[in-house]
């Protein structure tokens, strides 16, 4: 059987996150050659014409429109940028189907889990049964998403965080490294759970919670478009109540 040629891949964002995500691509290609990184795009003009680990920065993000043959990786993501990531995609007006999702071969993804477009899933992650990633989510090293957990678009879960059964994370929320979120909790859009925090109660949109038990440290404004579908309706999938097993 003839081997399929690797697809050209453009990376949006020339930050140090590229170095981590590039390793996912390398490890995917070791299993089956799928991707060929052709360049980086970044809106910082001082980066244009430079290289990151030998990969050229070709121009601004809009230059993706000049390369319709290439798949795209959305590599812009951190807790300071969580509230604007969705606006970058809206501004570019690029169809979502052009954005690939990268899942490390050493991640465990249950067959019933669903991963939307533009997601990045790192090594050691577990996406348990019926987990849903709506799209443009980042889940980093060793994080565990328990059964029926749902990540809204553009939300992020970082290293070694644990989300137990039936957790719902709103759009553009951020779960810090080593945090633990109890069964059935709702973390609102744009909220931030600090690293190593333990969350036993729902977190309001835009709230920044820290500690064990987690308490509100301060609040930030959340763009109205992220609140349209919040709070979620319908509750958890049986046999779960809003706070764990029946």
- pLDDT recorded at residue 233: 75
Q: Which residues of 201-213 are buried (b: 16+ CB within 10 A; e: fewer)?
A: ebbbbbbbbbeee
The first and second tokens of residue 144, run together, are 């565990």
Contact 113, 134 (CB under 8 A): no
Q: How far apart are CA 129 and CA 22, in angstroms?
A: 27
Query: Could you tell me the CATH superfamily of domain 102-228?
Result: Hexapeptide repeat proteins (2.160.10.10)
- pLDDT recorded at residue 4: 74
The segment(s) of the chain belonging to CATH 2.160.10.10 are 102-228
Class of the CATH domain delimited by 7-76: alpha beta
State pTM to two decimals. Answer: 0.92
Q: What is the mean pLDDT of each run of 10 residues along the chain (246 residues)?
A: 79 90 96 95 95 95 95 91 93 95 98 98 98 97 98 97 98 98 97 98 97 97 94 57 34
The segment(s) of the chain belonging to CATH 3.40.50.20 are 7-76
- pLDDT recorded at residue 237: 45
- pLDDT recorded at residue 244: 34
- pLDDT recorded at residue 242: 40
- pLDDT recorded at residue 3: 58
- pLDDT recorded at residue 62: 96
List of residues 6+ apart from 187 with CB closer than 8 A: 167, 168, 169, 170, 173, 175, 181, 193, 199, 202, 203
């Amino acid at each position: 059987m003839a081997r399929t040629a690797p697809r050209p891949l453009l990376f949006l964002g020339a930050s140090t996150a590229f170095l981590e995500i590039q390793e996912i691509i390398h490890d995917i290609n070791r299993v089956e050659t799928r991707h060929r990184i052709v360049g980086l795009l970044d809106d910082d003009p001082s980066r244009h014409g430079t290289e990151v680990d030998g990969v050229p920065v070709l121009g601004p993000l809009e230059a993706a429109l000049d390369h319709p043959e290439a798949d795209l990786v959305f590599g812009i993501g951190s807790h300071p940028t969580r509230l604007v990531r969705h606006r970058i995609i809206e501004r570019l007006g690029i169809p979502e189907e052009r954005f690939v999702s990268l899942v490390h071969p050493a991640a465990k993804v249950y067959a019933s889990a669903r991963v939307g477009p533009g997601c990045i899933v790192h090594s050691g992650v577990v996406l348990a049964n019926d987990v849903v990633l709506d799209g443009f989510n980042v889940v980093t090293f060793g994080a565990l998403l328990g059964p029926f957990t749902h990540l809204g678009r553009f939300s992020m879960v970082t290293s070694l965080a644990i989300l137990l059964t039936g957790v719902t994370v709103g759009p553009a929320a951020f779960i810090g490294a080593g945090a633990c979120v109890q069964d059935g909790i709702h973390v609102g859009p744009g909220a931030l759970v600090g690293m190593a925090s333990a969350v036993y109660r729902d977190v309001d949109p835009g709230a920044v919670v820290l500690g064990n038990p987690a308490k509100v440290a301060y609040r930030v404004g959340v763009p109205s478009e992220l609140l349209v579908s919040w709070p979620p309706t319908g509750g958890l999938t049986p046999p779960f109540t809003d706070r764990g097993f029946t």
